[in-house]
Structure 1
Amino acid sequence: MGQKKLIRFEAIKGFSNVFQYPEGMAGKWKDHFGNPNPITLELACGKGEYTVGLAARYPGKNFIGVDVKGNRIYVGAKKCLENDQQNAAFLRTKIDQISSYFAPQEVEAIWITFPDPQLRRSRHTKRLTHPKFLRKYQQLLQPKGIIHLKTDSPVLFQFTCWVIELYGLELVSKIEDLYAEPVISPELAIKTHYEGLDIAKSNRIHYLSFRLPEAPLPDYDEKLHELVFHYEKATD
């Protein structure tokens, strides 16, 4: 591990706004923030640009960036401390463990911003909009809570469209080319480090927002598997 990473890992141990695999936090985030304001999560937050940006725009709400990589969390957490953004915090954990750290209905909304699209078909179950993750989000989202996806990957965008249709989810918004829109909302105008890299070389930013039902998701996972392996270009 590089010296820079080691320094950052050591630094976040003393950051008041960083929680690393904390036990007993479910239902107690309001104690940390000092208020019961709505909570929004940014999953796979990286350097936390959305957590920082949304917290600055909406001081009456609380925001938590979630990522397993502490050296990335360091960047956003440090910026929030420097700017005295007390409505932002960071949680270091794996996304598949997210339901361990929040009580039922403790979260109002979720942003998934430029996650790893897991392009290999054999890894499609690791995509953060796969039903196995959506079922975890159901456990902590409030009724009518919205999930936002912003990605430069046409594969992840199409995959999530399949999920929404196949599982009967409520589509709120679908934008195939964000910056071709005549007007962009302030939330969608926030740019992340990875957006600037344009790793997918698609020259397009895709956006979806949708709601999960209160009832358990149906088990159409095998049908989704068939769609992926039939229509996606093989990258295995």
Structure 2
Amino acid sequence: MGRSKLERFAVIAERQNVIENGKELFTNLKGKWSEEYFGNNHDLILEIGCGKGDYTVGMANLFPNKNFIGVDIKGSRLWKGSTVAEENELTNAAFLRNFIEHLGENFTPGEISEIWITFPDPRPKKGDIKKRLTSPRYLDLYESLVKPGGIIHFKTDNLELFQYTLDLLQERKVTNLIYSFDLYASDLQHHTLNIQTTYEKRFLAEGLPIKYLQYTNNPATA
């Protein structure tokens, strides 16, 4: 492990906007994020596999009356997002360091208003399908945590992953599903808030079309 990573881990260990195992708040905020961490009753929105937190920070800038949490297990990536949030005094942005499959440890059913899944690892190998962040077990988890009527968004450059996810959602007969295989040639751009992640900018520079979908969480019909 390089020295820079160790230094970043040491920094986020002291940061109030990064919640991770070993800190008292890690196990004490379940069901109480908005009230006890953010100090309000605003909607709570997650960015799943947030990396450097481009959406978390971008949305926090756009919507001061909502609360945003970027979730990732990579501490060195969270260092970047938490740094930008701190420098811009974004008190409505925080970062949670945990495995996505363990989100039930940190949130209660219906606590989350919206989820963004932004450019996850496509996991192309057949043996890795269950590890895809849009596989059935993850969708079940998201839908258990997002309140009825909340929105789940997904952006990717990967055609195979997008088609897999779209097929799965259509089989599940989710509510209000809209999608595009080429976001920037569609009329759905406003749904993505004109925010582009580091990966997205790279893919666009390479000429790769960005895929996007969203649907309304309605567990009763899933």
Alignment map for 1:23-102 (pairs within 5 Å): 23-30=27-34, 31-102=36-107
Contact 2:144 2:219 in 1 (8 A): no
Structure 1 segments of 4+ aligned residues over 6 angstroms from their partners: none
Map of 2:157 onto structure 1: 152
Post-superposition Cα deviations, 1:183-208, rounded to whole Å, max 9, x if no partner, equal 72173421111112329x66100000
The one of 112, 136, 144 aligned to 1:139: 144
State how far apart, in whole Å, the 1-side matches of 2:163 and 2:188 are: 23
The one of 210, 214, 220 aligned to 1:215: 220
Letter matched to residue 24 of structure 1: N
State how far apart, in whole Å, the 2-side matches of 1:216 and 1:8 are: 44
State how far apart, in whole Å, the 2-side matches of 1:212 and 1:117 are: 23
State how far apart, in whole Å, the 1-side matches of 2:201 and 2:178 are: 23
Letter matched to residue 69 of structure 2: I
Contact 1:40 1:109 in 2 (8 A): yes
State how far apart, in whole Å, the 2-side matches of 1:42 and 1:163 are: 21
Map of 2:17 onto structure 1: 17
Cα deviation, residue 215, structure 1: 3.1
Q: Secondary structure at the match of 2:45?
A: strand
State how far apart, in whole Å, the 2-side matches of 1:50 and 1:108 are: 15
Contact 2:119 2:155 in 1 (8 A): yes
Cα deviation, residue 145, structure 1: 1.1
TM-score, normalised by the number of residues in structure 2: 0.92
Aligned pair count reads 217
Map of 1:228 onto structure 2: none
Post-superposition Cα deviations, 1:7-46, rounded to whole Å, max 9, x if no partner, equal 1000001111100031122112121101010000000000
Contact 1:154 1:202 in 2 (8 A): no
**Alpha-carbon RMSD:** 1.9
Letter matched to residue 26 of structure 1: K
> Matched residues, percent identical?
42
State how far apart, in whole Å, the 2-side matches of 1:82 and 1:164 are: 39
Cα deviation, residue 141, structure 1: 0.8
Contact 1:164 1:171 in 2 (8 A): no
State how far apart, in whole Å, the 1-side matches of 2:217 and 2:189 are: 24
- Structure 1 position 117 matched with structure 2 position 122: yes
Cα deviation, residue 182, structure 1: 5.8
Letter matched to residue 30 of structure 2: A
Instruction: Quickly say closer, same or farther: Cα 1:216–1:7, change in 2 above 3 A.
Output: farther
Q: Secondary structure at the match of 1:195?
A: helix
Instruction: Quickly say closer, same or farther: Cα 1:182–1:111, change in 2 above 3 A.
Output: closer
Cα deviation, residue 144, structure 1: 1.0
- Structure 1 position 163 matched with structure 2 position 168: yes
Cα deviation, residue 162, structure 1: 0.8
State how far apart, in whole Å, the 2-side matches of 1:160 and 1:169 are: 12
Q: Secondary structure at the match of 2:14?
A: coil
